[in-house]
Structure 1
Amino acid sequence: MAKLYFYYSTMNAGKSTTLLQSSFNYRERGMDTFLLTAALDDRYGKGKVTSRIGLSQEAELFHQEDNLFEVVADHHFNSSVNCVLVDEAQFLTKEQVWQLSDVCDQLSIPVLCYGIRTDFQGQLFPGSQWLLAWADMLEELKTICHCGTKATMVVRVDENGDAIQEGSQVEIGGNDRYVSLCRRHFKEAYLR
């Protein structure tokens, strides 16, 4: 039986790098992968999964209104798919997580999702919430705080490096806007 996987972490833990390595492993064995990434994250150009270390691969964009079961099924009908890999999975809707579980259950295709667990206020992203609830396998990818302990939280910072406490849940950015911290340092930064 195909499984739904969720690989989660904070920023800068290597999620996209790990996704690209998984895709490479499948392709090296003659299997086809189908990559999806959120349309709203265009930091490295549209339709690409790109890692901070310079690896990239073309990907299909998903929008919140897309039915991902239909998208994958159509692609699978035209060109056999052995694995679906989803970058920026925190931006999935509840319905899309359910649809990806249908890809596993009805099409027997494994789905590997990679995303951030919580936002800059410590709240679960919708996609992450439902992947944590429904995925068959959960795995945390780890990175470290500036103090050397495991980073489990992320703060959004302004141009001076000060933590921002309010704002919309989604604001696309990289190291210039977000810092991964352990819970203790998250609390210190957030409560300043």
Structure 2
Amino acid sequence: MAKLYFYYSSMNAGKSTTLLQADFNYRERGMATMLWTAALDDRGGERAIESRIGLGADAHRFTAQTDMWHAVCAQHRDQPLACVLVDEAQFLTAAQVWQCARLADEADIPVLCYGLRTDFRGELFPGSAVLLGIADALTELKAVCHCGRKASMNLRVDESGGAVAEGAQTEIGGNDRYVALCRRHFTAALAG
């Protein structure tokens, strides 16, 4: 029986790398997969999914209007899929997360979602909240704070490295805009 998986963490924990490794494992065994990532994250250019260590792959790009159920089922009819892998899953809508659950439950296709749990304010992303509530399996990938503790928070920083406490929930960026910290150092940075 297929399952809906959610692999979550702060920034810099290797979510995209882990997704790409899982994809490679399926493909190496001759199994077809379908990769997805958020259309709003265009940093990868041609390689829609790109890890910080240089691995990358092309992927379908979802928007809030994408019907994951229909798109995946159409592909599955053409070529049976062994697995669907979703990067930047925090940007899925609640309806899309339920569509992913339906893919596991009704189409019997495992769906592996990878994403951030919380934003720069420590608040859940909508897609992550639903995944945390309904996924069959939850796995936290570990990142490390500069102090050596587990990094569980994403601090947004400005051009000079100062902490940012206000703004839109979604702002795409890498190490230039975000720092993974433990909760202690996150709250200290925001307190200034």
Using the size of structure 2 for normalisation, the TM-score is: 0.98
Corresponding position of 2:22: 22
Task: Check whether the contact 2:164–2:190 (CA below 8 A) recurs between aligned residues.
Answer: yes
Distance (whole Å) between structure 2 residues aligned to residue 181 and residue 67 of structure 1: 35
TM superposition shift of 1:156: 0.3
Shift of 1:160: 1.0
Aligned alpha-carbon RMSD (Å): 0.8
Alignment of 1:81-92 (within 5 A): 81-92=81-92
1:74-126 deviations in Å (ceiling 9; x for gaps): 11111111100000000000000000000001100000000000000000000
For 1:107, what is the secondary structure of its paired residue? coil
- Structure 1 length-normalised TM: 0.98
Aligned AA (1:49): I
CA distance in 2, matches of 1:156, 1:124: 15
Segment of structure 1 superposing worse, 38-47 or 70-79 = 38-47
Superposed, which structure 2 residues align to 1:158-177 within 5 Å?
Answer: 158-177=158-177
Displacement of 1:30: 0.8
Instruction: Report deviation, 1:44.
Output: 1.3
Q: How does 1:90-169 map to 2 (within 5 A)?
A: 90-169=90-169
Identity among equivalent pairs (%): 62
Alignment check: 8 A CA contact 1:37 1:47 kept? no
Q: Given residue 9 of structure 2, which amino acid in structure 1 is its aligned partner?
A: S
Shift of 1:148: 0.6
Q: Which residue of 2 aligns with 1:48?
A: 48
> Mind listing any 5+ residue stretches in structure 2 that lack a counterpart?
none
How big is the shift at 1:47?
6.0
Structure-2 separation of matches of 1:69 and 1:92: 13
Inter-partner Cα distance in structure 2 for 1:140 and 1:35: 20
Q: Distance in 1 between matches of 2:123 and 2:41?
A: 19
Q: State the 1:46 CA deviation.
A: 5.3
Q: Which amino acid aligns with 2:137?
A: M
How many residues are matched?
Answer: 192
Question: What is the deviation of 1:191?
Answer: 1.7
- For residue 151 of structure 2, give the secondary structure of its aligned residue in structure 1: coil
Q: Match for 1:31: what amino acid?
A: M
Matched-pair contact (CA < 8 Å) for 1:39–1:47: no
Q: State the partner residue of 1:58.
A: 58
Q: Give the whole-Å Cα distance in 1 for the aligned partners of 2:47 and 2:118.
A: 24
Per-residue Cα deviation, 1:62-85 (whole angstroms, up to 9, x for no partner)? 011111011100111111111000
Asked if the contact 2:68/2:99 (under 8 Å) is kept, the reply is yes
Contact 1:8–1:15 (CA under 8 A) maintained in structure 2: yes
